[in-house]
Amino acid sequence: MLEQHFALPRTVDRIRALWLGAAIDRYVIWLEEQRASAATVKQHVRTLVHFNAFAIAHGATTWDDLPALREPFIAQWMKERGRDDRSWRARGVVHAHAHAPVTQLLRLIVPGYVGTVQRVGVPFLGGAAGFFPYLRDERGLRPTTLHGYLHHLRAFEAYLQRVGISDLAELTPALLSTFLTERAPRLGALGMRDCSGTLRVFLRYLHRQGATPSDLSRAVPSGRSYRQATLPRAIAWSDVQRVLDGVDRRSAVGKRDYALLLLLVSYGLRAREIAALRLDDLDWPQAQLHVPLRKGGHSTVYPLSATVGEAIIDYLRAGRPAVDDRLLFHTVKMPYGPMTDSAVSKQVAAHLRAAGVQVPRAGSHTLRHTCVQRLVDADVPFKVIGDYVGHRHAVSTLVYAKVALHRLRQLAIGEAEEAL
């Protein structure tokens, strides 16, 4: 298999002559079975060549010695390549280039080895390493909620590094106020509310753990938002068609994205509901789609339209990687894994931008709003619309009354009784 990825025979001979040469050759065969791209194979082999040298330099004599060397190797890799001046996202890519191939190789050649998923970018590991376990284990927050905490605390950590604060005990109300002032132009009202809420929870935790002498959470103002203060982010149906037409369905990622775009705009699903769909939720004999565990705690059964069904079948036949996981949508590059809700939303935003559709806060909710708007325009009752898209409260649907223009025109010309 190495010959298919490295043109020079001497390069192949050099790799096979390594102490880990036979293991690397076996690993490349496994990558081929997982449909890894040629670029991925080359990148992973190069990393394992470095890992081979590292293992020999640290006295490894058997493959059973290798698991203990994984973390030191990744640490050295990050020291040499993951400079602190890079963004957390860029450092995460560097980290993955070391972590993924070494962990996968060890799982392949060391019986019983599992390894743990290591990620970079978790803020305040030095001063408050237990904060995210506290949120997950003690407070029981969902991964999607934890992602919001990560986003705001990364910005807070970067701000403290910029102003030279390394000890959390040095935090003051003035520092907190300056940070929020800097963040305000980048965030809307809801974003500032979430940022302030994150800081208050973090500061209360710090005080509980004795990391700060006083509870500074009271110095963080609570953001305020008002119900019905915004408009839905719907787009015209012609824009939806332009987005769908712009998807290159010849590739695996195009087949996947076309299917999830149709699911979003046809049924008004949320990104987390798309990410949670399983193969078992597709009832092909009855032509039904089951959406369990919705935000309101209920489930919904939809008729599976022919267009959506054909797109999903096309993805399953020629786009979905050969994995044992029963979740429907997966990444299309190694290492394969289920798509997250944020990944779904990012893909939708990318397709909206590629189609030239201008919309505030582009993402999966844009198509959800569009689905609801189309139902409003068709004079479907608001209660039915709310049930269709899984709204927990009726007031969530009533926001679309503000953009039911055909009904508002009737009110404006005096036909209020007929309109209502």
| Per-residue burial over 172-208, b = 16 or more CB atoms within 10 Å of its CB, e = otherwise | eeebbeebbeebeeebeeebbbbbbbbbbbbbebbee
- CB under 8 Å to 321, separation ≥6 — which residues? 34, 35, 252, 330, 331, 332, 336
Give catalytic status of residue 400 as yes or no. yes
Among 106, 20, 80, 109, CA closest to 56: 20
- CB under 8 Å to 240, separation ≥6 — which residues? 265, 367, 370
Residues in the chain: 420
CA distances from 276 to 269, 326, 363 (A): 11, 10, 17
Give catalytic status of residue 333 as yes or no. no
Pick the catalytic residue: 295, 392, 402, 406? 295
CA 177 to chain centre: 30
Query: What secondary structure letter does DSSP report for 361?
Result: T
Pick the catalytic residue: 368, 369, 374, 407? 368
Give catalytic status of residue 207 as yes or no. no
Rounded CA separation 406/77 (Å): 62
101 burial (CB, 10 Å; 0-12 / 13-18 / 19+) is: buried
**Tokens representing residue 298 in the block:** 């209920």
Q: Are strands 300-303 and 288-291 parallel, antiparallel or unpaired?
A: antiparallel
Cis peptide before 338 (omega within 30 of 0): no
Give catalytic status of residue 81 as yes or no. no
Q: Are 383 and 394 in contact (CB under 8 A)?
A: yes
Q: Are 337 and 330 in contact (CB under 8 A)?
A: yes
Give catalytic status of residue 267 as yes or no. no
Strand partners, 288: 283, 303
**Tokens representing residue 285 in the block:** 């004999």
Give catalytic status of residue 270 as yes or no. yes
Rounded to a whole number of angstroms, the distance between the first and last alpha carbons of the chain is 70
- CB under 8 Å to 218, separation ≥6 — which residues? none
Pick the catalytic residue: 70, 183, 365, 374? 365
Question: What value does the CA radius of gyration of the chain take, rounded to a whole number of Å?
Answer: 26
Residue whose structure tokens are 């590094």: 161
Pick the catalytic residue: 97, 99, 255, 270? 270
Pick the catalytic residue: 44, 95, 391, 407? 391
**Tokens representing residue 306 in the block:** 């022919």
Residues with catalytic function: 270, 295, 365, 368, 391, 400
